[in-house]
């Protein structure tokens, strides 16, 4: 149902059962899948695709041009995966031509009130962005990461899958997969043991990750030396440990330690 006061451009593609609330504006390049619901006083614009069952709450701004002086109005886009919830006053911007040209938010994410997802961010599935989290441009967030309220993530940073960032943190380096970090500037507190337990990771995997974290991040020594130690250990056979090692090896900004 589309409320009589809503403004929906004729060029927008909405599934038959999409609901649009009062005084909401839907632009011409927008596509919405089945079961989408957009609340009152929201704006969905740009080349924006909302997957099935996406819910947008009141006063959210979805698909606006990026806050980038270099952006010249290119045909960039925003994609939001199935089942994601975008709460009040959140802002999600389309990508820029400097990167892949697309901002992506995965499926089953919770984007809480006043969250900002800037241009070219890549957010995985099942991510929770708590109130007032700010992602600068080009930030990558892995699957099922959790970012605490009012955290700020520097541009080009990577947050690994299943990582936890404590509230009001300022993150200026990469956060390893499965890590727990907090502070301004953020520092590593260890493994996200609670999150891994809730996600059903096997105890032997968690123990292997704890040993790998100690070798990689809790000793002050060169990166290659730390990686070599873990690579020579039995823990190197654990896929999740391999994932952490690859992330660490490929980090260009350095990791939170």
1 pLDDT band, cuts 50/70/90, is: very high
**How do 152-153 and 134-135 pair as beta strands?**
parallel
pTM of the model: 0.98
Is 7-138 a CATH 3.40.190.80 domain?
A: no
Q: Report the pLDDT value the prediction gives residue 219, as an integer from 0 to 100.
A: 85
Q: In a 3-state reduction of DSSP, which class is residue 235?
A: helix
List the catalytic residues.
119-120, 137
Is domain 197-250 classified as CATH 1.10.8?
Answer: no
Where in the chain is CATH 2.160.10.10? Answer: 7-138
What order of strands is seen across the sheet that includes strand 37-38?
Answer: 19-20, 37-38, 55-56, 85-86, 110-111, 128-129, 146-147, 164-165, 179-183, 186-191
- To the nearest whole number, what is the mean pLDDT of the chain? 98
pLDDT band at 159 (very low <50, low <70, confident <90, very high): very high
**What are the tens digits of pLDDT across the range 22-66?**
999 999 999 999 999 999 999 999 999 999 999 999 999 999 999
Q: Which two tokens stand for residue 205?
A: 């995997």
pLDDT(144) > 90: yes
Q: What are the tens digits of pLDDT across the range 185-229?
A: 999 999 999 999 999 999 999 999 999 999 999 988 999 999 999
Return the pLDDT at 146.
Answer: 98
Q: Where do the CATH 1.20.1180 domains begin and end in the chain?
A: 197-250
Determine the pLDDT at residue 79: 99
User: Cβ-count burial of 2 within 10 angstroms (0-12 exposed, 13-18 middle, 19+ buried)?
Assistant: middle
pLDDT (tens digit per residue) in 100-127: 999 999 999 999 999 999 999 999 999 9
């Amino acid at each position: 149902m589309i409320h009589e006061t809503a403004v929906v451009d004729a060029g927008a593609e909405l599934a038959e059962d999409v609901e649009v609330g009062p005084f909401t504006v839907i632009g011409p390049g927008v596509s919405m899948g089945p079961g989408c619901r957009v609340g009152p006083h929201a704006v969905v614009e740009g080349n924006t695709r909302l997957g099935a069952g996406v819910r947008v709450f009141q006063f959210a701004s979805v698909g606006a041009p990026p806050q980038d002086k270099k952006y010249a109005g290119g045909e960039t886009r925003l994609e939001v995966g199935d089942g994601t919830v975008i709460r009040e006053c959140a802002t999600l911007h389309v990508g820029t031509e400097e990167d892949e040209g697309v901002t992506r938010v995965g499926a089953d994410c919770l984007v809480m009130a006043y969250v900002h997802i800037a241009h070219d961010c890549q957010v995985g599935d099942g991510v929770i962005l708590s109130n007032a989290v700010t992602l600068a441009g080009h930030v990558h967030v892995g699957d099922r990461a959790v970012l605490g309220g009012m955290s700020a993530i520097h541009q080009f940073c990577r947050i690994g899958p299943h990582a936890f960032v404590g509230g009001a943190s300022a993150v200026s380096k990469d956060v390893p997969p499965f890590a727990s970090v907090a502070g301004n500037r953020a520092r590593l507190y260890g493994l996200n043991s609670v999150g891994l337990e809730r996600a059903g990771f096997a105890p032997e995997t968690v123990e292997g990750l704890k040993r790998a974290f100690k070798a990689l991040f809790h000793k002050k020594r060169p990166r290659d030396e730390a990686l070599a130690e873990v690579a020579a250990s039995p823990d190197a056979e654990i896929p999740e440990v391999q994932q952490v090692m690859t992330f660490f090896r490929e980090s260009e900004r350095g990791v939170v330690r």
